[in-house]
Amino acid sequence: MIKISPSILSADFANLERDIQRISTADYVHVDVMDGLFVPNISIGLPVVESIRPTTSLPLDVHLMIDRPIRYVERFCDAGADIVTIHVEADTEENTLKALGLIHGKGKKAGVVVKPKTPAEAVLPFLKQCDIILVMTVEPGFGGQSFMADMMPKVKAIRGYIDAENPACELEVDGGIGPETAKVAVENGANVLVAGSSVYKAADIPGRIAQLRG
Ligand code: DX5
Ligand code: ZN
């Protein structure tokens, strides 16, 4: 089954509870955390995760675009994250493995993320430790960018690794997902679709979520 994880980066932050209720037919709530260092933007952090936790029963899918996430993963779990993903580019292999262990130690799902320029093979040292792998289909930092179709060979390659070595692992894509690009991503093996602007700009949000799910 295809899962939809709307990104609240495109929500109205002055009406966050309302905008989270509006995506109640989705599967996850995607929360983009940016530190102004790993990516050239600053978004939201721990207090916001804590505040939105009681507003929804959906799992919080927290995408950490922060440098050396090992410093913060346990606190995001305590704040209410159900899934925590960390970038392979953000620290050493050793620390990334340790951070995945810390997330699992809190009883939460853990995964790694790869930026567009990072090759598929970069996920291999972490594959057995991952509940989810996230492939960026835009440069992280901003919503509303165009889908990079040239990431599809990477999605397909990682789908191959997952099927061979850790079939329970989910494969998520993030950036520029709309009704057309969703199909392309799914054809190439993705099963979790993050969508920010295409969900929040839709006149009929539940309709758009159903359309993306296909
Ligand atoms: C980008 C974020 C995305 C972003 C996607 O750094 O990781 O989750 O919100 O937005 P859209 O769907 O508008 O490309
Ligand atoms: Zn994201």
Three state DSSP letters for 133-162: EEEECCCCCCCCCCCCHHHHHHHHHHHHHH
Ligand 1 pocket: which of 9, 64, 201 to mutate (most atoms within 8 A of CB):
9
User: Given this model, what pLDDT does residue 140 score?
Assistant: 98
Average pLDDT over residues 130-156: 98
Model confidence pLDDT, tens digit, residues 153-184 = 999 999 999 999 999 999 999 999 999 999 99
User: Given this model, what pLDDT does residue 80 score?
Assistant: 98
Q: Which residues form the pocket of ligand 1, taking CB atoms under 6 Å from any ligand atom?
A: 7, 9-10, 30, 32, 63, 138, 140-145, 174-177, 194-198
Average pLDDT over residues 24-53: 98
Give the torsion sign (CA, 169, 115, 143, 41).
positive
Model confidence pLDDT, tens digit, residues 72-131 = 999 999 999 999 999 999 999 999 999 999 999 999 999 999 999 999 999 999 999 999
Ligand 1 pocket: which of 5, 19, 28, 32 to mutate (most atoms within 8 A of CB):
32
pTM over 0.75: yes
The pair of three-digit structure tokens given for residue 86, joined into one six-digit string: 């960390």
Active site residues: 32, 174
